[in-house]
Structure 1
Amino acid sequence: MSVKATKSAKSEVWETIVVLVQALIIALVIRSFLWQPFSIPTASLQPNLLIGDYVLASKYTYGYSSYSFPFNAIPINGRIFGRTPERGEIAVFEPVPKDDAYIKRVIGLPGDEIQMKNGVLHINGEPVQKERTGTSIDTDSNGISVEVTTYRETLPNGVSYTVQEISDTGAFDNTAIYKVPADHYFMMGDNRDRSLDSRSLSSVGYVPFTNFIGKAEVRYFSIEDNLNPWAIWNWPGNVRWGRMFESIYQ
Structure 2
Amino acid sequence: MNLQAILGNFALILFVLMVGTGIIWFLDVFYLAKQRRVRADTALREFDARNLKLSGEGIKLQESGRAAMQANLLKQPAWIEYSGSFFPVIALVFFLRSFLYEPFKIPSSSMVPTLQIGDLILVNKFTYGIRLPIINKKIVDVNHPQRGDVMVFKYPEDPSLDYIKRVVGVPGDKIVYKNKRLTVNGKGVSYQPLPDYLDEERLSYSKQFSENLLGVDHKILNDEQAPAYVPNPHNFPQRELCGYNDEGFACTVPTGQYFMMGDNRDNSLDSRYWGFVPDQNIVGKAFFVWMNLSNIKRIGSFQ
TM-score category, normalised to shorter length: 0.7 to 0.9
Bigger relative CO (Cα 8 Å, ≥ 6 apart): 1
| Aligned counterpart in structure 1 of residue 196 of structure 2, from 125, 135, 139 | 135
- 1:64, distance to aligned residue in structure 2 (A): 3.0
Question: Which residue number corresponds to residue 18 of structure 1?
Answer: 84
**Contact map agreement 1:79 1:210 (CA 8 A) in 2:** no
2:181 maps to what in 1? 120
Task: State the shift of 1:12 in Å.
Answer: 8.2
SS of structure 1 residue aligned to 2:175: strand
TM-score (norm 1): 0.80
State the 1:219 CA deviation.
0.9
Q: Among residues 186, 193, 211, which one is paired with 1:153 in the alignment?
A: 211
Match for residue 59 of structure 1?
125
Q: CA deviation at 1:125?
A: 2.4
Task: Measure, in 1, the Cα distance between the counterparts of 2:279 and 2:250.
Answer: 21
Q: Structure 1 or 2: larger helix share? A: 2
Task: Report the Cα offset of residue 208 of structure 1.
Answer: 1.0
Residue in 1 aligned with 2:141? 81
RMSD: 2.3
Q: Which amino acid is 2:170 matched to?
A: L
1:5 deviates by 4.5
Question: Which of 247, 256, 269 pairs up with 1:196?
Answer: 269
Structure 2 unaligned spans of 5+ = 1-64, 231-245
Correspondence for 1:47? 113
Q: Give the % identical residues.
A: 33
Query: Hey, what does 1:232 align to over in structure 2?
Result: none
Q: In the TM superposition, what is the alpha-carbon distance from 1:4 to its structure 2 partner?
A: 3.4
* Deviation (angstroms), 1:212: 0.5
Corresponding letter in the other structure for 1:222: N
* 1:214-233 equivalences in 2 (<5 Å): 214-224=284-294
Q: 1:55 offset after TM fit, Å?
A: 0.8
Q: How far off is 1:17 after superposition?
A: 3.0
- Cα-to-partner distance string for 1:129-172 (whole Å, 9 max, x where unaligned): 01111112225xxx53431010000011x110110111263444
Which letter does structure 2 place at the counterpart of 1:243?
R
Larger radius of gyration: 2
- The answer on 1:163 being equivalent to 2:239 is no
Name the counterpart of 2:25. none
Counterpart of 2:301? 247
CA deviation after TM superposition for structure 1 residue 118, in Å: 1.2
3-12 vs 177-186, greater mean Cα deviation: 3-12
The one-letter amino acid of 1:133's match is L
Letter of the structure 2 residue corresponding to residue 24 of structure 1:
I
